[in-house]
Structures are given as C-alpha cells and as structure tokens.
Amino acid sequence: MASAEGIRVESRDELALRTGEDVVRLRQGVRERAIAVGLSLVDQTKIVTAASELGRNTIQYGGGGTVSIETVANGSRRGLRLEFVDQGPGIADIGLAMKDGYTTGGGLGLGLSGAKRLSDQFEIDSAPGKGTRIAIVRWKPY
Amino acid sequence: MERIPILRMGRFLLVTIQVDMHDQLALTLQDDLTERIVKERAKGVLIDISSLDVVDSFIGRMISNIAGMSRVLDAQTVVVGMRPAVAITLVELGLNLAGVRTALNVEKGMALLQGAAP
C-alpha cells in the first residue's frame, strides 16, 4: 500500500470521524478527490460508497477515529487511497467480521465485505485492544 | 430539527431526497413516513432518489425498512430514479433491495402505485 514499493503519495488530507455529519463530509471529500484523480463515475460511486461503509464502522465500532484521503500514483497509474484508523476495541476474528451478513451492531453485515468488493486493494490490521486500521485503494484503469 | 419533506398527493405520499443524508436524518425520515402513512391513510409511497449519487448499506436498509413497514400498513412503496452508477454499486455491495418495487422515473412510479391501488 502506501509503504509498498513504487507507490507515491501525491496529496493527503485527513478528516476526523466522530459523527454522522463527518461521514457526509467524508463522502464529499472522497468524491472531490476521486474526480480529481480521474476515476470514472461508476468507480467514483464505488469508492465513495466503500468510504461511507468504513467511515460508519470507524464511528460505530471503533468509537471514532480518523481517515486519510490520499491521491496516489504507481508509475503513470493514479488512484485514490483511503486509510481508516481507530483506537477502539479491535476485531477478534477478522475472517468472521469479513463475512457477508455477519454483524455485531444490528446492521446488514455488508460494510466490511462490501467495501472490499468495491475496492481494488483492501488491507485490514486489527487485534483486540489494539484498534483497527483499514486501507483501500481504487486505481484508475490504464 | 432537520427533516426531509413529505408531500401528500391524493392517496399517495411523495418524498424527494435531495440532500446527502446523514444516518440520523434517514432514521427520522423512516419514522416520519410510517407516521404519515397511518395519519393520512396513504395507499402508496413514492420515493424519488434521482438526486442521490450514493446509496450505501444504511440508506439501502432504510429503503427496505420503509417498503416493509408500508406493506404491513397496507401501502405500497415504489422507489424511482436510481442512477445507473448507484445501481451497479448497490449490487456489488451486496444489496438487491429484495421486495422493493422500483420504477425508472416519477411518472412510471405513479402509474405503478395507481395500478396497485385503483
């Protein structure tokens, strides 16, 4: 991801995620950046939707946190990378949390699995008591 | 408190969502609509989402909830105007809005409601 070889971060914005209004701001910020990177309308919609799911999770399960919105490039290829970080209780069983329909919060259980399907790259790092970090990337096709 | 307006047209209720809703606003709309269906004895609800450029699982669930609650209250719900990019994304997200009737635009949605409750 950002630390991986060859990927360069061109711009970076950070937003706090505490309230439902922050998720609205996140959607707007991701949309603006996705347009700037040159993603198609469908790809913009996919990454904004994934951002909305993950942002809500950060607030609901992580007790709030931050998101970093990054314009990235790998050679001539550009993309949008989002990294969600919280210091919440963490996820004990990531495999289970990634399953469609599994939820501990009364939702549909599509947030994590759906966000992964809507992204080109998905990375999750979490352990009980250690918080959660999730990064996704959507690349502009060549 | 911020609210999405609900209009009455004869036996039907009409909602046009024109703002990017935060979750609480979506929940308030769900509650308001359920109350209005009973109060107005509405036979149908038409929800126009043509202004929405994103429908995530929360909004999708709200739409399914409204359709389910109105059915129990003897009213039909039709969702109209979904943008193609939103439809593609919703299905990939894993939501198919089972049990929710849809139409391409307000006119077709109204025709559906009138056919369902003549």
Q: Is B88 on the interface with A (CB under 8 A)?
A: yes
Mutation target among A54, A56, A108 for the B interface, most CBs of B within 10 A: A108
Residue B49 pLDDT > 70, yes or no? yes
Q: Classify A122 as helix, strand or coil.
A: strand
Distance between CA atoms of residues B28 and A140, nearest Å: 37
pLDDT given at position B2: 86
pLDDT given at position B99: 85
pLDDT given at position A1: 45
- Mean pLDDT, consecutive 10-residue stretches, chain A (142 aa), reads 72 96 97 97 98 96 97 95 97 91 84 95 95 97 86
The overall average pLDDT reported for chain B is 94
pLDDT given at position A5: 66
pLDDT given at position A4: 56
pLDDT given at position A11: 94
Distance between CA atoms of residues A137 and A8, nearest Å: 13
Which CATH superfamily, name and number, covers A7-139?
Histidine kinase-like ATPase, C-terminal domain (3.30.565.10)
Subunit contact A52:B94, Cβ cutoff 8 A: no
Mutation target among B62, B89, B92 for the A interface, most CBs of A within 10 A: B89
Residue B83: count of CB within 10 angstroms of its CB = 17
Domain positions in chain B are 6-111
Distance between CA atoms of residues A138 and A119, nearest Å: 5
Domain positions in chain A are 7-139
If we measure between CA atoms, which residue out of A42, A48, A11 comes closest to residue A29?
A: A48
Question: If pLDDT is split at 50, 70 and 90, which confidence band does B76 have?
Answer: very high
pLDDT given at position B37: 97
pLDDT given at position A2: 45
Query: Under CATH, to which class is B6-111 assigned?
Result: alpha beta
pLDDT given at position A105: 80
Q: Is B53 on the interface with A (CB under 8 A)?
A: yes
* pTM of the entire predicted model: 0.93
